[in-house]
Protein backbone atom coordinates (compact mmCIF):
# COMPACT_ATOMS: atom_id res chain seq x y z
CA UNK A 1 0.00 0.00 0.00
CA UNK A 2 1.51 3.36 -0.99
CA UNK A 3 1.00 6.67 0.80
CA UNK A 4 -1.84 7.68 -1.54
CA UNK A 5 -3.81 4.52 -0.65
CA UNK A 6 -3.42 5.30 3.06
CA UNK A 7 -4.51 8.90 2.59
CA UNK A 8 -7.63 7.84 0.66
CA UNK A 9 -8.69 5.37 3.37
CA UNK A 10 -8.41 8.12 5.99
CA UNK A 11 -10.07 10.65 3.71
CA UNK A 12 -13.18 8.49 3.27
CA UNK A 13 -13.62 8.37 7.07
CA UNK A 14 -13.02 12.10 7.38
CA UNK A 15 -15.52 13.02 4.65
CA UNK A 16 -18.18 10.73 6.14
CA UNK A 17 -17.74 12.54 9.47
CA UNK A 18 -17.86 16.00 7.89
CA UNK A 19 -21.03 15.12 5.98
CA UNK A 20 -22.70 14.07 9.22
CA UNK A 21 -21.71 17.36 10.92
CA UNK A 22 -22.34 19.95 8.18
CA UNK A 23 -25.29 19.29 5.85
CA UNK A 24 -25.08 20.27 2.17
CA UNK A 25 -27.75 22.94 2.67
CA UNK A 26 -25.46 24.72 5.11
CA UNK A 27 -22.62 24.76 2.57
CA UNK A 28 -24.91 26.03 -0.18
CA UNK A 29 -26.10 28.96 1.94
CA UNK A 30 -22.57 30.11 2.76
CA UNK A 31 -21.78 33.72 1.84
CA UNK A 32 -18.96 32.67 -0.48
CA UNK A 33 -21.08 30.18 -2.40
CA UNK A 34 -22.45 32.94 -4.64
CA UNK A 35 -19.18 34.77 -5.34
CA UNK A 36 -17.79 35.01 -8.86
CA UNK A 37 -14.71 32.86 -9.25
CA UNK A 38 -11.30 33.82 -10.66
CA UNK A 39 -10.16 31.49 -13.44
CA UNK A 40 -6.68 30.11 -12.86
CA UNK A 41 -6.48 28.64 -16.35
CA UNK A 42 -7.12 32.08 -17.90
CA UNK A 43 -4.52 33.69 -15.66
CA UNK A 44 -1.94 31.06 -16.64
CA UNK A 45 -2.63 31.51 -20.35
CA UNK A 46 -1.88 35.22 -20.05
CA UNK A 47 1.13 34.98 -17.75
CA UNK A 48 4.86 35.03 -18.45
CA UNK A 49 5.81 33.28 -15.18
CA UNK A 50 2.95 30.81 -14.64
CA UNK A 51 3.75 30.44 -10.95
CA UNK A 52 1.19 28.76 -8.69
CA UNK A 53 2.60 29.20 -5.18
CA UNK A 54 1.61 26.87 -2.37
CA UNK A 55 0.80 27.13 1.30
CA UNK A 56 1.98 23.87 2.84
CA UNK A 57 3.08 23.27 6.44
CA UNK A 58 4.30 19.71 6.06
CA UNK A 59 4.13 16.68 3.77
CA UNK A 60 4.56 12.91 4.05
CA UNK A 61 7.83 13.07 2.10
CA UNK A 62 9.42 16.02 3.93
CA UNK A 63 7.66 16.01 7.35
CA UNK A 64 7.81 19.62 8.64
CA UNK A 65 8.32 22.36 6.07
CA UNK A 66 7.22 25.45 8.00
CA UNK A 67 4.80 25.63 10.95
CA UNK A 68 5.54 29.25 11.90
CA UNK A 69 3.78 31.26 9.22
CA UNK A 70 0.21 32.49 9.16
CA UNK A 71 -1.86 32.02 6.03
CA UNK A 72 -2.88 35.68 5.72
CA UNK A 73 0.74 36.85 5.48
CA UNK A 74 1.61 34.12 2.98
CA UNK A 75 -1.43 34.92 0.79
CA UNK A 76 -0.72 38.68 0.82
CA UNK A 77 2.97 38.04 0.11
CA UNK A 78 2.18 35.81 -2.84
CA UNK A 79 -0.29 38.32 -4.24
CA UNK A 80 2.29 41.14 -3.96
CA UNK A 81 4.83 38.89 -5.68
CA UNK A 82 2.54 38.60 -8.70
CA UNK A 83 1.91 34.84 -8.71
CA UNK A 84 -0.90 33.51 -10.93
CA UNK A 85 -2.60 31.54 -8.20
CA UNK A 86 -2.22 30.08 -4.74
CA UNK A 87 -2.57 26.44 -3.81
CA UNK A 88 -3.88 25.83 -0.28
CA UNK A 89 -3.49 22.41 1.30
CA UNK A 90 -6.64 21.56 3.25
CA UNK A 91 -5.70 18.03 4.40
CA UNK A 92 -5.06 17.95 8.15
CA UNK A 93 -3.57 14.58 8.99
CA UNK A 94 -0.80 14.41 6.38
CA UNK A 95 -0.21 18.06 5.44
CA UNK A 96 -1.25 20.06 8.51
CA UNK A 97 -3.78 22.12 6.55
CA UNK A 98 -7.48 22.89 7.00
CA UNK A 99 -10.47 24.48 5.31
CA UNK A 100 -9.94 27.46 7.63
CA UNK A 101 -6.65 28.07 5.80
CA UNK A 102 -8.64 28.38 2.58
CA UNK A 103 -11.09 30.78 4.23
CA UNK A 104 -8.29 32.95 5.63
CA UNK A 105 -6.48 33.02 2.28
CA UNK A 106 -9.72 34.05 0.57
CA UNK A 107 -10.20 36.91 3.04
CA UNK A 108 -6.61 38.09 2.54
CA UNK A 109 -6.12 38.21 -1.24
CA UNK A 110 -7.68 38.35 -4.70
CA UNK A 111 -5.68 35.47 -6.10
CA UNK A 112 -7.20 32.47 -7.81
CA UNK A 113 -7.23 29.85 -5.02
CA UNK A 114 -6.79 26.13 -5.59
CA UNK A 115 -8.16 23.78 -2.95
CA UNK A 116 -5.36 21.18 -2.83
CA UNK A 117 -7.13 18.12 -1.49
CA UNK A 118 -7.71 14.43 -2.07
CA UNK A 119 -11.20 14.67 -3.55
CA UNK A 120 -13.13 11.41 -3.42
CA UNK A 121 -16.68 12.74 -2.95
CA UNK A 122 -18.86 15.44 -4.52
CA UNK A 123 -19.34 16.88 -1.01
CA UNK A 124 -15.73 18.15 -1.05
CA UNK A 125 -16.36 20.10 -4.26
CA UNK A 126 -19.31 21.91 -2.67
CA UNK A 127 -17.09 22.53 0.38
CA UNK A 128 -14.42 24.04 -1.88
CA UNK A 129 -16.96 26.47 -3.33
CA UNK A 130 -18.37 27.34 0.11
CA UNK A 131 -14.92 28.10 1.53
CA UNK A 132 -13.84 30.39 -1.31
CA UNK A 133 -11.90 28.22 -3.74
CA UNK A 134 -11.75 29.02 -7.45
CA UNK A 135 -10.17 25.76 -8.55
CA UNK A 136 -10.30 22.14 -7.44
CA UNK A 137 -7.69 19.44 -7.83
CA UNK A 138 -8.69 16.00 -9.07
CA UNK A 139 -6.09 13.22 -8.80
CA UNK A 140 -6.44 10.61 -11.54
CA UNK A 141 -4.59 7.97 -9.48
CA UNK A 142 -7.43 7.79 -6.95
CA UNK A 143 -10.44 8.22 -9.26
CA UNK A 144 -12.19 6.22 -11.95
CA UNK A 145 -12.93 7.76 -15.33
CA UNK A 146 -16.61 8.02 -14.32
CA UNK A 147 -15.72 9.84 -11.10
CA UNK A 148 -13.47 12.27 -12.97
CA UNK A 149 -16.38 13.00 -15.34
CA UNK A 150 -18.94 13.38 -12.53
CA UNK A 151 -16.68 15.54 -10.32
CA UNK A 152 -15.44 17.80 -13.13
CA UNK A 153 -18.99 18.34 -14.43
CA UNK A 154 -20.16 19.35 -10.95
CA UNK A 155 -17.17 21.72 -10.58
CA UNK A 156 -17.94 23.40 -13.91
CA UNK A 157 -21.59 23.82 -12.91
CA UNK A 158 -20.31 25.73 -9.85
CA UNK A 159 -18.01 27.85 -12.03
CA UNK A 160 -14.88 26.24 -10.58
CA UNK A 161 -11.80 25.52 -12.69
CA UNK A 162 -10.53 21.93 -12.70
CA UNK A 163 -6.87 20.95 -12.45
CA UNK A 164 -6.47 17.25 -13.09
CA UNK A 165 -3.26 15.62 -11.87
CA UNK A 166 -1.64 12.62 -13.55
CA UNK A 167 1.54 10.62 -12.95
CA UNK A 168 1.68 8.49 -16.10
CA UNK A 169 0.23 7.94 -19.57
CA UNK A 170 -2.48 5.52 -18.41
CA UNK A 171 -3.87 8.10 -15.97
CA UNK A 172 -3.65 10.81 -18.62
CA UNK A 173 -5.58 8.83 -21.21
CA UNK A 174 -8.56 8.22 -18.92
CA UNK A 175 -8.65 11.89 -17.91
CA UNK A 176 -8.97 13.75 -21.18
CA UNK A 177 -12.46 15.25 -21.27
CA UNK A 178 -13.93 18.68 -22.03
CA UNK A 179 -14.75 19.51 -18.40
CA UNK A 180 -11.04 19.65 -17.48
CA UNK A 181 -9.28 23.03 -17.76
CA UNK A 182 -5.71 22.19 -16.78
CA UNK A 183 -3.72 18.98 -16.90
CA UNK A 184 -1.09 18.77 -14.20
CA UNK A 185 1.80 16.34 -14.44
CA UNK A 186 3.16 15.36 -11.03
CA UNK A 187 6.87 14.66 -11.33
CA UNK A 188 6.94 12.76 -8.04
CA UNK A 189 6.86 8.96 -8.12
CA UNK A 190 4.32 8.03 -5.45
CA UNK A 191 5.97 4.73 -4.69
CA UNK A 192 9.53 6.00 -4.25
CA UNK A 193 8.94 9.77 -3.73
CA UNK A 194 11.71 10.39 -6.28
CA UNK A 195 11.19 13.43 -8.49
CA UNK A 196 12.08 13.72 -12.17
CA UNK A 197 11.20 16.44 -14.67
CA UNK A 198 11.40 13.76 -17.37
CA UNK A 199 7.83 12.78 -16.39
CA UNK A 200 6.55 16.19 -17.52
CA UNK A 201 8.64 16.10 -20.69
CA UNK A 202 7.53 12.60 -21.67
CA UNK A 203 3.82 13.23 -21.10
CA UNK A 204 3.73 16.68 -22.72
CA UNK A 205 3.32 15.27 -26.25
CA UNK A 206 0.24 13.32 -25.17
CA UNK A 207 -1.61 16.33 -23.73
CA UNK A 208 -3.91 17.97 -26.32
CA UNK A 209 -3.42 21.70 -26.85
CA UNK A 210 -6.93 22.49 -25.55
CA UNK A 211 -5.64 22.04 -22.00
CA UNK A 212 -3.34 24.32 -20.04
CA UNK A 213 -0.30 22.24 -19.10
CA UNK A 214 0.90 22.46 -15.51
CA UNK A 215 4.02 20.83 -14.06
CA UNK A 216 4.01 19.91 -10.36
CA UNK A 217 6.66 18.79 -7.83
CA UNK A 218 10.40 19.23 -7.98
CA UNK A 219 10.29 22.72 -9.45
CA UNK A 220 12.70 24.65 -7.28
CA UNK A 221 14.81 26.50 -9.83
CA UNK A 222 14.39 28.94 -12.70
CA UNK A 223 16.35 26.46 -14.84
CA UNK A 224 13.63 23.84 -14.29
CA UNK A 225 10.95 26.23 -15.59
CA UNK A 226 13.07 27.23 -18.59
CA UNK A 227 13.62 23.54 -19.30
CA UNK A 228 9.88 22.81 -19.30
CA UNK A 229 8.52 25.86 -21.15
CA UNK A 230 9.54 24.55 -24.61
CA UNK A 231 7.33 21.50 -23.87
CA UNK A 232 4.28 23.76 -23.70
CA UNK A 233 3.98 24.12 -19.91
CA UNK A 234 2.25 27.33 -18.83
CA UNK A 235 1.82 26.59 -15.13
CA UNK A 236 4.37 25.62 -12.46
CA UNK A 237 3.29 24.59 -8.98
CA UNK A 238 5.91 25.56 -6.41
CA UNK A 239 5.39 24.50 -2.81
CA UNK A 240 8.34 23.74 -0.59
CA UNK A 241 10.75 26.13 -2.31
CA UNK A 242 8.92 29.22 -1.00
CA UNK A 243 7.43 27.72 2.14
CA UNK A 244 10.74 26.57 3.61
CA UNK A 245 11.89 30.22 3.83
CA UNK A 246 10.96 32.75 6.54
CA UNK A 247 9.12 34.92 4.03
CA UNK A 248 7.47 32.99 1.17
CA UNK A 249 6.16 36.19 -0.43
CA UNK A 250 9.64 37.72 -0.62
CA UNK A 251 11.07 34.45 -1.97
CA UNK A 252 8.36 34.33 -4.65
CA UNK A 253 9.01 37.99 -5.56
CA UNK A 254 12.73 37.35 -6.05
CA UNK A 255 12.05 34.13 -7.98
CA UNK A 256 9.63 35.81 -10.40
CA UNK A 257 11.99 38.78 -10.87
CA UNK A 258 14.93 36.47 -11.58
CA UNK A 259 12.78 34.39 -13.95
CA UNK A 260 11.84 37.49 -15.93
CA UNK A 261 15.49 38.50 -16.23
CA UNK A 262 16.82 35.04 -17.04
Mean pLDDT over residues 105-132, rounded?
A: 98
pLDDT the model gives residue 193? 79
Under the banding of pLDDT at 50, 70 and 90, the label for residue 64 is confident
User: For residue 1, is pLDDT > 80?
Assistant: no
**Catalytic site residue 14?**
no
Give the containing element (helix H, strand E) for 114. strand 112-116
**Catalytic site residue 45?**
no
Return the HEC string of 235-261: EEEECHHHHCCCCHHHHHHHHHHHHHH
**Catalytic site residue 171?**
no
Catalytic-labelled residue, pool 59, 175, 215, 217 = 217
Q: Are 74 and 249 in contact (CB under 8 A)?
A: yes
In which region does residue 142 sit, left (phi positive, over 0), alpha (psi from -120 to 50) or beta (all else)? alpha
Secondary structure (DSSP) of 172-220: HHHH--TT--EEEEE-B-TTT--B-THHHHHHHTTS-TTSEEEEESS--
Catalytic-labelled residue, pool 11, 14, 54, 187 = 54
**Catalytic site residue 257?**
no
For the chain, the average pLDDT equals 95
Mean pLDDT over residues 240-251, rounded?
A: 94
Catalytic-labelled residue, pool 186, 200, 215, 241 = 186
Under the banding of pLDDT at 50, 70 and 90, the label for residue 215 is very high
**Catalytic site residue 205?**
no
pTM over 0.95: yes
User: For residue 63, is pLDDT > 80?
Assistant: no
pLDDT the model gives residue 191? 74
Report the DSSP beta bridge partners of residue 136: 115, 162
Give the containing element (helix H, strand E) for 225. helix 222-228
Catalytic-labelled residue, pool 14, 79, 165, 240 = 165
Under the banding of pLDDT at 50, 70 and 90, the label for residue 60 is confident
pLDDT the model gives residue 2? 83
Q: What is the DSSP letter of 54?
A: E
Catalytic-labelled residue, pool 79, 117, 171, 216 = 216
Residue with the bigger pLDDT between 90 and 60: it is 90
Collapsing DSSP to helix, strand or coil, 10 comes out as: helix
Mean pLDDT over residues 227-237, rounded?
A: 98
**Catalytic site residue 157?**
no
**Catalytic site residue 217?**
yes
Catalytic-labelled residue, pool 116, 129, 213, 234 = 116
**Least trusted range by pLDDT, from 5-19, 48-62, 206-220, 221-235:** 48-62
Mean pLDDT over residues 79-97, rounded?
A: 97
Burial 88-122 (b: 16+ CB within 10 A, else e): bbbbeebbbbbbebbbbbbebbebbbbbbbbbbbb
Q: List the one residue out of 176, 178, 156 whose CA is nearest residue 166.
A: 176
**Residues whose CB is less than 8 angstroms from the CB of residue 79 and which lie 6 or more positions away in sequence, other chains included:** 86, 108, 109, 110, 111
Amino acid sequence: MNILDKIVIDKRKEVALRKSLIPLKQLETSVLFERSTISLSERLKNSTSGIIAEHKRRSPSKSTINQNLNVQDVAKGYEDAGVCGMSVLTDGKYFGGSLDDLLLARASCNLSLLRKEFIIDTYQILEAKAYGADVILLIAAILTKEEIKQFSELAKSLDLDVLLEVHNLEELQKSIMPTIDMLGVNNRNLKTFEVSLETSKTLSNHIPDDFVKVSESGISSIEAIKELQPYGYKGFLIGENFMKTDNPGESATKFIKDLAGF
